[in-house]
C-alpha cells in the first residue's frame, strides 16, 4: 500500500472554499469527471450535513495496465461528505467502486480555516492506494500514486477556477441589483415630480408629494 498526503492553502475564506467544493464539477480542468449524482443527503440532530454522491469518471490508463486489472471506462466512485457549518469544517471521503478486487484508492479531503489566518482555508489531502493479486504490484502502485499526485494539483487549480466563477457571479449580481436600484429610484423621483406638478397646477392646496424612502 502507498500513502500520499499534502496540504494546500487557499487565499479565500472557508465559506467560499466549501461552496466551491460542492460546485467543483463539471470542470474543464478535471475532464475525467463526466457526471455526478446525489444519492443521499440529510441533516442530523447535530446540524451536520451528510451527503453521498456517485461520480462517473473516465481515465486514461495504459492498455497493458487495464488488461491486468480488467479496468474499463466509465468507472465509478462513491463520495461521502460531512459539512459542519458551525465549526466551519468540511470533510470528503471517496473510494473507487470498480475493480476493487485488484485496486483500492481511498481519498480524504478536509477543509477548515487556516489556524494562523482565519481568512484563508487549509486543505489537507490523504490517499491510500493498494494493488492486489496482479504482477508488478509495486510498479502499479507507484504509477497510480504519480497519477494521483498530478490530479491533486489539477484539483487545486480546478477549485480556483470555480472560486473565480463564484466571485464573478456575486459581482454580476451586485451590478444588476445596483442598476435596478438606480432605475427604481429614478422612477420614484419622476413620479414625485409629476405629483408635485399636478398639485401645483390644480392649486387645490395639496401638500407636495413626499419621496418614499428606498
Q: What is the pLDDT of residues 27-64, one digit of tens each?
A: 999 999 999 999 999 999 999 999 999 999 988 777 77
* pTM to 2 decimal places: 0.80
- Is 193 within a domain? no
Q: Compute the distance between CA of residue 1 and CA of residue 7 in angstroms, rounded to an integer.
A: 21
Residue 188 lies in a domain: no
Domain of residue 96: give its range: 2-168
Note the Cα 188 to chain centre separation in Å: 41
Residue 191 domain flag: no
State the CATH number of the domain containing residue 21.
3.30.530.20
* 184: in domain: no
For residue 210, what is the DSSP state?
P
Grid coordinates representing 186 are 429614478
Domain count, the chain: 1
65 located within any domain: yes
Contacts of 19 (CB under 8 A, 6+ apart): 166
Per-residue buried b or exposed e for 62-80, using 16+ beta carbons within 10 Å of the residue's own CB: eeebeebbebeeebebebb
Q: Is residue 109 part of a domain?
A: yes
pLDDT of residue 147: 84
Residue 190 in domain = no
Q: Is the pLDDT of residue 113 over 80?
A: yes
Whether 182 is in a domain gets the answer no
Per-residue cell: 58 = 473516465
Amino acid at each position: 500500500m502507498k500513502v500520499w498526503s499534502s496540504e494546500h492553502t487557499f487565499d479565500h475564506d472557508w465559506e467560499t472554499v466549501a461552496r466551491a467544493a460542492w460546485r467543483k464539477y463539471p470542470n474543464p480542468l478535471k475532464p475525467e469527471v463526466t457526471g455526478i449524482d446525489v444519492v443521499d443527503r440529510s441533516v442530523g440532530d447535530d446540524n451536520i450535513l451528510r451527503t453521498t454522491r456517485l461520480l462517473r469518471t473516465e481515465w486514461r490508463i495504459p492498455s497493458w495496465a487495464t488488461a491486468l486489472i480488467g479496468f474499463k471506462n466509465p468507472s465509478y466512485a462513491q463520495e461521502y461528505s460531512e459539512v459542519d457549518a458551525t465549526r466551519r469544517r468540511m470533510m470528503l471521503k471517496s473510494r473507487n467502486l470498480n475493480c476493487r478486487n485488484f485496486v483500492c484508492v481511498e481519498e480524504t479531503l478536509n477543509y477548515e480555516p487556516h489556524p494562523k489566518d482565519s481568512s484563508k482555508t487549509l486543505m489537507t489531502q490523504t490517499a491510500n492506494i493498494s494493488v492486489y493479486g496482479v504482477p508488478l504490484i509495486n510498479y502499479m502502485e507507484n504509477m497510480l500514486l504519480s497519477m494521483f499526485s498530478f490530479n491533486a494539483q489539477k484539483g487545486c487549480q480546478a477549485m480556483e477556477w470555480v472560486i473565480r466563477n463564484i466571485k464573478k457571479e456575486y459581482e454580476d449580481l451586485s451590478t444588476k441589483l445596483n442598476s435596478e436600484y438606480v432605475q427604481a429610484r429614478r422612477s420614484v423621483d419622476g413620479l414625485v415630480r409629476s405629483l408635485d406638478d399636478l398639485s401645483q397646477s390644480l392649486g387645490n392646496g395639496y401638500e407636495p408629494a413626499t419621496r418614499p424612502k428606498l
